[in-house]
Amino acid sequence: MTKATINLTGSLVVEEIDFFLAAYPEGHPYRAALSHPEQRRKLVSWVLSRVPNRYALLQDSQGRPIYPDFQSASLEKRLKVEEIIKTGIEEILAKR
């Protein structure tokens, strides 16, 4: 059976970035800057380097990885990640 190690926190960070950016109208500087894949990758990496990461080793009966959703993340953790995302966006935009 094949096993996979996945970063569960990465899923949360991507989800929270999408949610955060959806709150801004089209054309907003945050949305415009992060519409570029490289800038988005920088933000994800920036945030992941500043929060505790949680990993899982997952597989199904045929050895395929199973990717759970991250609904189990506490509100406190989601708010902390959102705060770090805001700071990260400002940092990344300042370096452009």
**Domain locations in the chain as residue ranges:** 4-94
In whole angstroms, give the CA distance from residue 24 to residue 32. Answer: 10
> pLDDT tens string for the chain (96 positions)?
566 777 888 988 999 999 999 999 999 999 999 999 999 999 999 999 999 888 877 766 665 556 555 456 788 888 899 999 999 999 988 887
Identify the burial level of 60 via C-beta atoms within 10 angstroms of its C-beta, where 0-12 means exposed, 13-18 middle and 19 or more buried: exposed
DSSP 25: P
- Name the pTM for this structure: 0.77
Residue in the structure block whose two tokens are 């995302």: 85
